[in-house]
Structure 1
Amino acid sequence: MTKDNNRGLPLPDFDQLPPEAVATRIRSLNGAQLKQLMEYESDHAHRPMVLEVLARRSAQLREGAQRTSGDPNAIKPEVPGAPETGSKVGPDPGPTINPPPHGDPSNPAHPRR
């Protein structure tokens, strides 16, 4: 889906969010915004886990739960960071390995003398 399909939704890139991320991102939304997301999800991807998360949060708000502060546009924890560089082992090549008494394992045609 393109960003144009997400235009007007309270969560940017809603279609690409996994259910775990949806659960944390919707805590700052009100009931009307949750309803909008549930209708959109029902009409488009219809992901059961996402619909369950949205319905559960909507019920919590009806029962008196308070919205928490947070920014739906905040840094996305589901996006991995840059990989670490460098060797964790270090520059030491390690101990030398002596060939077994029956020959050199890297050259079996030349037995050890």
Structure 2
Amino acid sequence: MSLPLPDYDNLPVGSLQHRIRSLTTDEVQQLLDYEQEHNDRPQVVTILSQRLEELHNGAVPSQGRQLDDPVETEGTSHGSPVDPSGSPQPMHPPRHGTGELPGKPKADRPRKQ
């Protein structure tokens, strides 16, 4: 059975709502029937049912195409751009005073009388 969304069973639920926007009423119904027969995930059934209702009430499928890759992988570099050489040197404030006004050890302070 060929479904209107590539790799439908592995799509994250979060991207499904956006991916079905370009589907026709028949295509959404096909996904809903498939979902109810196979996985029957309540959240997915709700999303598909709501989209079907929107289409029956006059919504028009959006322009666009379905990609073979999930939406979440678009534009990612598949690695961390973080490099330890780009880290700043650790900066620890002085225990007493600041760099311009260094603190004085207690021995150098005048005694209170």
Q: Decide: shared fold, TM above 0.5.
A: yes
Partner of 1:94: 90
Provide, for residues 31-55 of structure 1, a one-character-per-residue CA deviation record: whole Å limited to 9, x for no partner.
1111110110011111111110000
TM-score, structure 2 length as denominator? 0.68
Gap regions ≥5 residues in structure 2: 95-113
Given the superposition, is the C-alpha separation of residues 58 and 92 from structure 1 closer, same or farther in structure 2, using an over 3 Å criterion? closer
Partner of 2:35: 41
1:76 is displaced (CA, Å) by 2.3
Q: What is the correspondence of 1:60-79 to structure 2 with a 5 Å cutoff?
A: 60-73=54-67, 75-79=69-73
Given the superposition, is the C-alpha separation of residues 95 and 30 from structure 1 closer, same or farther in structure 2, using an over 3 Å criterion? closer
Partner of 1:13: 7
CA distance in 2, matches of 1:90, 1:39: 52
Partner of 2:100: none
RMSD over aligned Cα, in angstroms? 2.6
- In the alignment, which of 76, 79, 86 is matched to residue 83 of structure 1? 79
4+ residue runs over 6 A deviation = none
Aligned-pair identity (%) = 32
TM-score, structure 1 length as denominator? 0.68
Larger Rg computed on CA atoms: 2
1:96 is displaced (CA, Å) by 7.5
Gap regions ≥5 residues in structure 1: 1-6, 99-113
Q: Which moved more, 1:7-16 or 1:68-77?
A: 68-77
Conserved? CA contact 1:19–1:53, under 8 Å? no
